[in-house]
Amino acid sequence: MNKDTIVANATPLIPSAISIVRISGDKALEIGRKIFSLPENITPRKVYFGKIFNNKGEIIDEGLFVYFQKPKSFTGEDLVEIYPHGSVPVVKSILEACFMYGARLARPGEFTERAFLNGKIDLLQAEAIADLINAKSERAAKIAVSILEGKLSKQINILREKLINLISLIEAEINFPEDVEEIDSSLIISQLEEVKSQIDKLLASYKKGNLIKEGIKLAIVGRPNVGKSSLFNALVGYERAIVSEIQGTTRDFIEESLKIKDIPVILLDTAGLRDTEDKIEKIGIEKAQEKINEADIILFVIDASSGFTEEDKKIYDKIKDKPHIIVVNKSDLNNKPIDFFEKYDNIVYTSIINNQGIKELEEKIITSLGIIEKEDDLFINLRQSTLLKQAKEKIEEIENHINYLINNKEILMIYIQEALNYLDEVVGAISTEDVLDNIFSKFCIGK
């Protein structure tokens, strides 16, 4: 599979200052020499300036050239990078020339896949590259880089080592019962417990990580006229939704993408909830109910001048089991006391017409979801989380049958090995073609 020499543009095919064409495989340098004017002897990792030729040997551009000799390259193979001007026809001609001289177009993610297969990076790091490229915020990018640096791999590898150690202890006891002392069962139990609690920590990071990577769905909900659309506009930063003193102004829901403290957010303004005979408003209210179910967090808006009314209570009962923040708006008016939420933490007083309380609300949104930025932020993805859950279940199975297993060490060993297999899959120490296809097909071409 790795015999082919592959080529691809590493930068998008659009007019730009420069582009990068990458060639990887045994023929990389030979092909590179045919399309780039190079001296007889070249030094790896040195930049050369020269002429670039098409497949007829005509000069089509001038640019730079670097040769990375295997194994000291991204893919672990011989790798050449050519930097022509960012001209679409030039890049296309270079690719065509490479095809003619024996390279084929790389599949999406194939350079990274080769890096993985050649042991330059593990699977977690490969996934982190895709996450970094696709990051929607600085924070998501930062986390991807930590994983690329190997911080997550290190954590998983510590757990793998713990299980490997246990297996070898048990194996020694089975094979050399005369020479080796019997393992203390409490040691086995405590080691497994440690692995499990570390897995739990990683699993807890999955949901948060997803919010940071994919964004939070935030729905603004409340009865008519409390200032939902006004709040929507204040958060979006411009007059996106119609605001009026008429009840039932918003009918269809409105959606906008924005960022709150660098976290991507999909913000929804919904129709004020009330009993109505108006056909269109009714449909809007039904849609609002749907959106409540989809939201990660609800901003429940009430009007300070009317306090917490019966209608508010009815709506509150529908949303109270979801993560929510109470927004007491119009606090510039004569306020009625709101005893109901007296001891409530997630409450913010706003006066949107005076631009008050918005910053505080933004802060609350981030803290209430527990996605405050931390130094050691590390988040796992769905694939990793699924495997870790399976590893954890295996360990729980052992714990549930520990008395039997302690006396049947061969079986105990098999169980621990199974848990270890899941962790091996996380880092890609064992992997199937399907899994790899699935991961690398999500990359862009040229990476």
Q: Catalog residues that contact ligand GTP under the rule CB under 6 A.
A: 222, 224-230, 243-245, 247-250, 271-272, 329-330, 332-333, 351-353
Identify which of residues 86 and 224 has a Cβ nearer to ligand GTP in the complex. 224
In the list 229, 331, 381, 384, the residue contacting Mg ion (rule: CB under 5 A) is: 229
In whole angstroms, the minimum distance from the beta carbon of 267 to ligand GTP comes to: 13
Nearer to ligand GTP, 224 or 446 (CB): 224
- Measured from the CB atom, is 134 or 249 closer to ligand GTP? 249
- Smaller CB distance to ligand GTP: residue 349 or 422? 349
Pick from 294, 279, 296: nearest CA to 211? 296
User: Residue 240: which of 216, 214, 263, 220 has the closest Cα?
Assistant: 220
# of chain residues touching Mg ion (CB under 5 A): 4
Smallest distance, Å, CB 357 to ligand GTP?
Answer: 9
Burial class (CB in 10 A: 0-12, 13-18, 19+), 401: middle
Paired sense of beta strands 21-24 and 79-83, if any: antiparallel
How big is the CA angle at 423 (ends 419 and 428), to the nearest 5 degrees?
140
Nearer CB in complex with ligand GTP: 54/230: 230
- Least distance CB 309 / Mg ion (angstroms): 17
Pairwise CA distance, residues 431 & 438, whole Å: 11
Cis ω for the linkage preceding 71 (within 30 of 0) = yes
Polymer length of the chain = 447
Q: Which of ligand GTP, Mg ion, none sits in contact with 224, Cβ below 5 to 8 A by type?
A: ligand GTP
| Close Cβ partners of 384 (under 8 Å, ≥ 6 residues apart) | 124, 127, 202, 206, 426
Interface region with Mg ion, contact rule CB under 5 A, candidates 220-228, 309-317, 397-405, 418-426: 220-228
Written as one string, the DSSP assignment of 342-387 is: TT-SSEEE-BGGGTBSHHHHHHHHHHHTT----TT-----HHHHHH
Of 161-169, 242-250, 368-376, 405-413, the window that binds Mg ion (rule: CB under 5 A) is 242-250
**Residue 230 contact, options ligand GTP, Mg ion, none, Cβ 5-8 Å cut-off depending on partner type:** ligand GTP
Contact between 270 and Mg ion per CB under 5 A: no
Nearer to Mg ion, 114 or 330 (CB): 330
Please report whether residue 230 would count as binding Mg ion according to CB under 5 A.
no
Alpha-carbon distance of 182 to 399, in angstroms, equals 19
Identity of the residue, 226 or 319, whose beta carbon is nearer to ligand GTP in the bound complex: 226
Phi, psi dihedrals of residue 292, rounded to the nearest 5°: -60, -40
**Smallest distance, Mg ion to C-beta of residue 282, A:** 16
Which range touches Mg ion (CB under 5 A), out of 123-131, 189-197, 248-256, 275-283? 248-256
Are 115 and 124 in contact by the 8 Å Cβ rule? The answer is no
Q: Which residue is nearest to ligand GTP (CB)?
A: 272
Q: Which does 112 bind (CB under 5 to 8 A by kind): Mg ion, ligand GTP, none?
A: none
Interacting span for Mg ion (CB under 5 A) from 9-17, 21-29, 45-53, 229-237: 229-237
Q: CA nearest 231: which of 295, 337, 288, 303?
A: 303
CB 389 within 8 A of CB 395: no
9 binds Mg ion (CB under 5 A): no
Q: How far apart are CA 296 and CA 374, in angstroms?
A: 21
Q: How far is the CB of 286 from ligand GTP (least distance, A)?
A: 15
Buried b (16+ CB within 10 A) or exposed e, 295-327: bbbbbbbbbbebebeebbeebbeebeeeebbbb
Could you tell me the smallest distance in angstroms from the CB atom of residue 317 to Mg ion? 21
Smallest distance, Å, CB 315 to Mg ion? Answer: 14
Beta carbon of residue 354, minimum distance to ligand GTP (angstroms, whole number): 7
Q: Tell me the longest C-alpha to C-alpha distance in the chain.
A: 88
Q: At closest approach, how far in Å is the CB of 306 from Mg ion?
A: 16
Q: Whole-number minimum distance, CB 228 to Mg ion, in Å?
A: 5
Closer to ligand GTP at the Cβ: 220 or 395?
220
Task: Indicate the residue among 162 and 228 with the shorter CB distance to ligand GTP.
Answer: 228
With CB under 5 A as the contact rule, the residue among 250, 331, 351, 381 that binds Mg ion is 250
Q: How far apart are CA 242 and CA 254, in angstroms?
A: 10
CB of 227 to Mg ion, least distance (A): 8
- Residue 332's binding partner out of ligand GTP, Mg ion, none, with CB under 5 to 8 Å set by partner kind: ligand GTP
Nearest to 441 by CA among 10, 119, 106, 76: 106
Chain positions contacting Mg ion, by CB under 5 A:
228-229, 249-250
